[in-house]
Amino acid sequence: MSNLTDSTMDLTIVGAGIIGLATAYAVSQRFPHLKVTILEKEPDVAQHQTGNNSGVLHAGIYYKPGTLRAKLCVQGVRQMTDFCDTHGIEYQRCGKLIVAVTEDELPRLKTLLERGIANGVQGLRQMNQAELHEIEPFAAGIAAIHSPNTGIVNYKAVSRKLRDLLHERGIEVQLTQKVISISHRQNLLNVITSNFELQNKHLINCGGLYADSIGNMMGVTSEIRIIPFRGEYFLIRKEKHNMVRGLIYPVPDPSFPFLGVHFTRVIRDDGIGVEAGPNAVFAFAREGYRFSKINLSETADALGFVGFRRLAAKYWRTGLNEMRRSLSKPLFVKSLQRMMPSIQANDLVPGGAGVRAMAIHRSGEMVDDFYIVDSPKALHVLNAPSPAATASFAIGEYIAQQAANLFNW
């Protein structure tokens, strides 16, 4: 530790989620001479969004063509599976169905198919009812898009491997080092953590749910604020795993920025499972993994933000319904039965939850793409929602390139 405090770092990355780790990996690949470190407030890597997500390797279907989300997802998923092949990390290309249940969903299904094809997703095909039943016999639906290359992986395992590879390259993740303040001092950035003080030439903020607060420490007064939305899961009992062979998703509601509760096979540290979820409930704390976890100052901050109030005015009905469904298992089961009529409440047991960092603009719009801004000597990843885990290697390279341009490496 004293080595760290005695010397100046070329680059400090804040946050050891998959974006911070993949960024360090890309930087160390291209600029091996740089002295880099990562500061993480938790006792291990991938403790927040990265370690509590659905574990899906998205193919790149949903995103507006030309956006960073579309480009980096399609590029990143290939890099992710190559990385898993190289390092022996388990993943499965289990395939995915997006299922239309009613006639009025068919035009949206068609639009999704066109988007996916425009984004360069391979193997997409529209299916009729008989074809979709061959793939997922328990799914209801009148038509579906089949994406054979969509898959699953354990992002915690990927993150641990990245940590180990970075260690071999001389880059340490400094755990339990919460960044408390950052200031400019003598042409350097002075970072104070819970345990020490560190001088840095440059910094990249990959702070996930706290990326905006970390930006604020450096005077980044952005028009956006991170608002936490919890996603809760149920686990399907082992005896019923046969009801879900791959991934089964609804046609997303175009006015809602989440994909809708779905069925996913998952690869967890303790083996393969099947989950249903996640919903999207406003969380009363940025790390509010339970309904009862309340952080008064974070809640007041969210409610006081004009962008959130504008968003809430538009979607209050959807938001209340999500809260009701969060508190009522029968309501949750009812939404699942739309896609799978034979699933029953006693097939499900409570599972975990993740909290999404959703960047909201003061206009009340959700920021619809990855969003990275700069400030003197620093870059800030202010929005990295799904599919950022899938796209993490491509995002890391993109950030490394931005850093090279900005910091004259």
Ligand X SMILES: Cc1cc2nc3c(=O)[nH]c(=O)nc-3n(C[C@H](O)[C@H](O)[C@H](O)COP(=O)(O)OP(=O)(O)OC[C@H]3O[C@@H](n4cnc5c(N)ncnc54)[C@H](O)[C@@H]3O)c2cc1C
- What residues make contact with ligand X under the rule CB under 6 A? 14-20, 39-42, 47-50, 52-56, 58, 178-179, 206-210, 214, 231, 278, 354-356, 384-390
Minimum Å gap between C-beta 142 and ligand X is 26
Closest CB to ligand X among 55 and 307? Answer: 55
Minimum Å gap between C-beta 385 and ligand X is 5
Closest CB to ligand X among 141 and 385? Answer: 385
For 43, 44, 208, 336, 352, the CA distances from 40, given in Å and listed in that order, are 8, 8, 11, 37, 22
Answer yes or no: are the C-beta atoms of 77 and 93 closer than 8 Å.
Answer: no
Minimum Å gap between C-beta 389 and ligand X is 3
Closest CB to ligand X among 15 and 246? Answer: 15
DSSP for 113-173, written as a single string = HHHHHHTT-TT-EEEEHHHHHHH-TT---SEEEEETT-EEE-HHHHHHHHHHHHHHTT--E
Minimum Å gap between C-beta 349 and ligand X is 18
- Largest Cα–Cα distance in the chain? 69
Minimum Å gap between C-beta 231 and ligand X is 3
Closest CB to ligand X among 83 and 143? Answer: 83
Question: Please, what is the angle between helix 306-327 and helix 329-339, to 10°?
Answer: 90
Question: Whose structure tokens read 């799914």?
Answer: 139
Find the residue with minimal CB distance to ligand X.
17
Judged by DSSP in three states, 301 sits in helix
Closest CB to ligand X among 246 and 354? Answer: 354
Closest CB to ligand X among 250 and 354? Answer: 354
Answer yes or no: are the C-beta atoms of 46 and 378 closer than 8 Å.
Answer: no
Minimum Å gap between C-beta 79 and ligand X is 13
- Which helix (H) or strand (E) segment is 275 a member of? strand 271-277
Query: In sequence order, what are the beta bridge partners of 186?
Result: none
